[in-house]
Amino acid sequence: MMRATWSVAWAVGPALGALVITFFEFRGVFLTTAVCAVLASAIIGLARVRTARRTKTANANQALGHPTVREIGFAASSLTFFHMAMFMGSIALPIVATQKLGGTNGDVGLIFSVCAFLEVLVMLTFVLRPSISGTRRWLSAGFLAFVLYFLMINWAPSVAILLLAQALRAIGIGFVGYHEISYIQVLMPDRVGSAATLFSNTANAGFLFAGLAAGGWAQIFGYRSMFLVCALLSGLGLLMLYLQSKINVAVR
């Protein structure tokens, strides 16, 4: 549910941002963002959340494994590659849509909003009907969808194809986004806090590396070629997932 709310924000945010830009330009976006931050802070400050205790039954459902640094490293690298591809693709997509394919700011907002809306549907499907086929299989399917997505938009001749391709992007983000947290936590069942921190750092590292690499690559090879790099990064993430050996049976 936590990751699904992020996708809900992405579904509303880009469309709302495009609308605000149309009437109030970018200053209106900054003001709207500040208002959202104030509202979020007020909700957190006024909320009264009860902390649920972990039961022995819940703990028994988590196998007590002791993964090696190498195994955790493969898992963290896999998710870092995924996030790097996701963020690099997000940087290049608006520029390619508007400058190469003749799209508008509204088209960009629609593309991101449609993807986020579809992500929510994918994740809610898992919430309503939990998977029994194994986290690792769904992660692999998500990485594969990402590879196909970036290959598709690399040769997309129009904004309409970019819009259609968002179904693949939503599947990739939905599958990996829903399962990645539990994937790390099952690897580190005795260190839930450390697992959550490691997961968050894979996103932070992916964002950092994407920002550093995107500018230099686009300067030399252009923005559109970044989609091939993203496809390669997604493939490397899938490879890291399979190189990680002797993981807990619950992940497979």
* For range 222-244, the mean pLDDT: 93
**The predicted structure's pLDDT at residue 68:** 67
The burial class, CB within 10 Å (0-12 / 13-18 / 19+), for 96 is buried
More confident residue, 187 or 50: 187
**The predicted structure's pLDDT at residue 249:** 42
46 residue type, one letter: L
Nearest-angstrom CA–CA distance, 8 and 87: 18
Q: Convert the pLDDT of each residue in 220-230 to its tens digit.
A: 999 999 999 99
The overall pTM is greater than 0.75 = yes
Q: Residue 127 pLDDT > 60, yes or no?
A: yes
- Helix, strand or coil, per DSSP, at residue 104: coil
**The predicted structure's pLDDT at residue 2:** 60
More confident residue, 116 or 139: 139
* For range 142-158, the mean pLDDT: 96
62 residue type, one letter: Q
Domains of the chain in sequence order: 2-52+67-251 (1.20.1250.20)
Q: Residue 114 pLDDT > 60, yes or no?
A: yes
User: Residue 1: pLDDT band by 50, 70, 90 thresholds?
Assistant: low
Q: Convert the pLDDT of each residue in 158-174 to its tens digit.
A: 999 999 999 999 999 98
Q: Are 222 and 59 contacting, i.e. CB atoms less than 8 angstroms apart?
A: no
Q: For every residue of 165-213, which 3-state class applies, written as one string?
A: HHHHHHHHHHHHHHHHHHHHHHHCCCCHHHHHHHHHHHHHHHHHHHHHH
- Collect all residues with Cβ–Cβ distance below 8 Å to 200 and sequence separation of at least 6: none
Q: Residue 234 pLDDT > 90, yes or no?
A: yes
Helix, strand, coil shares of the chain, percent, nearest 5, are 80, 0, 20
**The predicted structure's pLDDT at residue 60:** 38
**The predicted structure's pLDDT at residue 61:** 41
Q: Convert the pLDDT of each residue in 55-106 to its tens digit.
A: 444 443 444 455 667 778 888 999 999 999 999 999 999 999 999 999 988 8
Q: Find the helix or strand (DSSP H, E) in which 119 lies.
A: helix 105-128
Q: Can you read off the two tokens belonging to residue 122?
A: 């994918």
Query: Residue 43: how many CB atoms within 10 A of its CB?
Result: 9
Q: Residue 134 pLDDT > 60, yes or no?
A: yes
DSSP string covering 207-242: HHHHHHHHHHHHHHH-STTHHHHHHHHHHHHHHHHH
Q: Residue 248 pLDDT > 60, yes or no?
A: no
- Collect all residues with Cβ–Cβ distance below 8 Å to 113 and sequence separation of at least 6: 10, 11, 12, 13, 14, 15
Q: Can you read off the two tokens belonging to residue 195?
A: 């697992």
The burial class, CB within 10 Å (0-12 / 13-18 / 19+), for 46 is exposed
Arithmetic mean of pLDDT over the chain: 82
Q: Residue 250 pLDDT > 70, yes or no?
A: no
Q: Convert the pLDDT of each residue in 34-57 to its tens digit.
A: 988 898 888 888 877 665 555 444
